[in-house]
Structure 1
Amino acid sequence: METWDLYNKHRNKIEKQITRGEPMASNEFHLVVHVCIFNSKGEMLIQQRQPFKQGWSNLWDITCGGSATSGDTSQQAASRELFEELGIDFSFENMRPQFTINFERGFDDYYLIEQDIDLNELTLQFDEVQAVKWASKEEIFKLIEQKAFIPYYESIISFLFESRHRYGSIRL
């Protein structure tokens, strides 16, 4: 059973945990992480979810993601998810999330890294991932249009591609 730490609206951890699926009070939130890997051609590594995976079955998604479990920092959760889903060992300990999106039930931290990876060397987590590939922003938009990709806002996908080399939204 997966257990989550809970946070208040200011992202301060409260002294409470829940098991995935249990209801949270309206003033309780949890932490989710996403990792997006880009290659030197500017393509994003995307994964296709297993047909038996609950939630968004068979759809393509960004590189990896998942909920932080109890005791995890955001960085530890990002490292764990990336290793579990794709077999990539990467330390996020000296990184901050590129950005965070607040959603109704929590905080969604996004980590963006650039690394050329040989897809044949990945170890896909059978319970979650059936396939991986590199995709351009335009290819992802087409998959979204075809309802073959999780329905992210196109502006979020654009922002991921645009912000992969810098923190924040101000260019100097």
Structure 2
Amino acid sequence: METWDLYDKHRNKIEKQITRGDAMLPNEFHVVVHVCIFNSKGEMLIQQRQPFKHGWSNLWDITCGGSAIAGDTSQQAASRELFEELGIHYNFDNMRPQLTINFERGFDDYYLIEHNVDLNELTLQAEEVQAAKWASKEEIFMLMEQKMFIPYYESMIAFLFEGRHHYGSIRL
């Protein structure tokens, strides 16, 4: 059973934890992380969710993501999720997320990294991931058009590709 730390709207940890699926009060939030791995050719590593996975089953998604569990920092959650879902070791300790998106129930931290990964060396988490592959921005847009990719905003996917080498939203 997964337990989450809860935060206030300013992202200060409050002295409360809940179990995944339990109701949260309107002023309580949790941390989610997403990692996007890009290779040296500018492609993103994407994964296909299992058919029995609750929510977005069989759809392709960005590299990995999930909720921070109790005691995790955002960086620890990113490292754990990446290893659990794809078997990739990566140290996020000295990184900040490139962006954080506030959603109704929490904070979603996005880490964008360049890391050439051999697909044959991945260890896919059987409970969550059925396949993984490299994809260009255009290939992801095509999958989205075919309703085979989680329906992120196209502009969000474009920003992940364009913003992967720096922090912020201004081209320098």
Q: TM-score range by the shorter chain?
A: over 0.9
Structure 2 partner of 1:6: 6
Structure 2 partner of 1:120: 120
The yes-or-no answer on 1:69 pairing with 2:55 is no
For residues 32 and 99 of structure 2, the distance between their equivalents in structure 1, rounded to whole angstroms, comes to 12
- Equivalent positions of 1:20-59 (< 5 A) are 20-59=20-59
Structure 2 partner of 1:152: 152
> What displacement does 1:158 show?
0.4
> What displacement does 1:171 show?
2.3
TM-score when normalising by structure 1: 0.99
| Structure 1: stretches of 5+ with no match in the other structure | none
1:40-63 Cα deviation digits (max 9, x unpaired): 110000000000111110000000
For residues 74 and 146 of structure 1, the distance between their equivalents in structure 2, rounded to whole angstroms, comes to 32
Q: Which amino acid aligns with 1:142?
A: M
> What displacement does 1:90 show?
0.5
For residues 106 and 134 of structure 1, the distance between their equivalents in structure 2, rounded to whole angstroms, comes to 29
Aligned residues: 172
RMSD, matched Cα:
0.5
Q: Which amino acid aligns with 1:117?
A: V
Structure 1 partner of 2:164: 164
For residues 154 and 124 of structure 1, the distance between their equivalents in structure 2, rounded to whole angstroms, comes to 26
Structure 1 partner of 2:78: 78
For residues 131 and 171 of structure 1, the distance between their equivalents in structure 2, rounded to whole angstroms, comes to 34
> What displacement does 1:115 show?
1.1
For residues 69 and 16 of structure 1, the distance between their equivalents in structure 2, rounded to whole angstroms, comes to 13
1:70-122 Cα deviation digits (max 9, x unpaired): 00000000000000000001110000001100011100000000011100000
Structure 2 partner of 1:100: 100
For residues 151 and 171 of structure 2, the distance between their equivalents in structure 1, rounded to whole angstroms, comes to 28
Q: State the SS of the aligned residue for 1:79.
A: helix
TM-score when normalising by structure 2: 0.99
Q: Which amino acid aligns with 2:11?
A: R
Residue identity (%):
84
